[in-house]
Amino acid sequence: MPIEVKIPEVGESITEGFLAEWSKSDGDVVARDEPLLVLETDKITMTVNAEEAGRLEILVKEGETVEVGQVVATIDDTVAQSTAQAAPPPATSESETEPETEPETEPKPKADAPAPPATAEPPLSPPAGAPQASAKLDTVRGLSPAVQRLVLEHHIDPSDIDGTGRGGRITKADVLAFIADRETLPEAASEEDVNASAEPTPILSERQTRKPMSPMRQRIAERLVEVQQQAAILTTFNEADLSGVMALRGKYKEMFKDRHGIGLGFMSFFVKASIDALKTVPTVNGFIDGDQVVTNHYYDIGIAVSTERGLVVPVIRNADGLTMAEIELAIADLATRAQERKLELSELSGATFTISNGGVFGSMMSTPILNPPGSAILGMHAITKRPVVVNDEVVIRPMMYLAVSYDHRLIDGRESVTFLKRIVECIENPERMMLEV
């Protein structure tokens, strides 16, 4: 009996999602735990894997809205996986083996030989342009089934499309936007002019593109506006001299990596400094719930991670009980799984404090927006060498601007400044964090 592929439960508040992409084609043989599809919801993008091996039959196309529990495909587990893997892919077996058999056949049998598959030839150029059509077909292979169909039906060269998917991959939305732009060109050209060239009509202008907003991007937009409307956000700034941290990293980075199997980055220092500051100013680790003030006595630190589908904030639980190495390992694990769409919804909520590092993109200064339910967020920025005054002398030091945005309904200016100054003190004197003084 075929095994049903259902949309899994992601969270209590999520009832539907968007089937963004099939990782396999209809009729493919899949292995157990092999990626099948990419599911987008308003809170998370995740990959759904095959529960069993067998032949895949797709029931719901890409781009459709699906409900939790809905059957979107079936897997025939009676198909022997080993036999299917030994057979060459259908698309290449007919096209690649045919040239090899042609020299061995006599002229008459060759004339009676079956024509190439109908899916490969009709959408391409006439016989006079056969070499060019073959090259274009090679470019099409490797795209998702939906993208392949659109590209071939509309005579599009995939190299003309700028992919916005992961690793520059061309998505269905990219192709639709390309087609829409091409169809909006002036219609003054005559049919004779159009037929004069075998190449697609060049796009004269690409001043705009239009594509649907993904559910995750919609949710991000809603949350940002919601936070701005419900909290009184204010930002305070300071700067930190990273000479001490950089010297400490330079001295122990090789030993640290040999012992723990991971590099010593800057983020673990800022996580430790933030926890120290939260303990110094406990109000910053709280939030407003109706007419009550709730103060957290645990430290779940959110780390903002940028992915191709938007910003996510995975959370390091009970970070105050972790060593520097454990923090670095946790950050690396969460960031990797965020890029691979393997995070669980429970790992993306409940941060008591958040850290965002815009410095990795070269940002000098910004005002980060709160990540509820937390009432404050730290913004890190690029490290730049600047002249500063130390002991009445002008010296060049690696400096970083820091920003803390906070909910002014709960946190006053004195508390926010004290909090940020404590972070600066810890960063400029990293041994204090080690000795907890």
Q: Please identify every residue annotated as catalytic.
A: 408, 412
CA distances from 342 to 170, 196, 256, 336 (A): 22, 50, 28, 9
What's the rounded Cα separation, in Å, for the pair 178 and 206? 9
One-character DSSP codes across 353-416: EEEEEGGGGT-S---PPP-TT-SEEEEE--EEEEEEEETTEEEEEEEEEEEEEEETTT--HHHH
Cα 291 to Cα 70: distance, rounded to the nearest angstrom: 41
Query: What contacts 401, CB < 8 A, 6 or more positions away?
Result: 237, 238, 239, 364, 365, 381
Strand partners for 401? 239
Distances (CA, A) of 215 to 92, 172, 212, 227: 36, 16, 9, 18
Please report which residue ranges of 281-354 form alpha helices under DSSP H.
Answer: 324-339
Q: In a 3-state reduction of DSSP, which class is residue 31?
A: coil
Q: E strands, 23-102, where? A: 29-30, 35-40, 45-49, 54-58, 65-67, 71-76
Q: How far is CA 172 from CA 207, 244, 326, 427, in A?
A: 20, 50, 40, 46
Tokens of 19: 């089937």
Cβ pair 389, 417 in contact under 8 A: no
Q: Which two tokens stand for residue 115?
A: 């024509």
| Residue 6 contacts residue 51 (beta carbons within 8 Å) | no
**Tell me, what DSSP letter sits at residue 171?**
P
C-alpha triplet 375, 381, 385: angle, nearest 5°:
145
Could you count the other beta carbons within 10 Å of the beta carbon of residue 436?
Answer: 8
CA–CA dist 277, 287 (Å, integer): 16
Strands 305-307 and 310-312: antiparallel
Amino acid at the residue 109: P
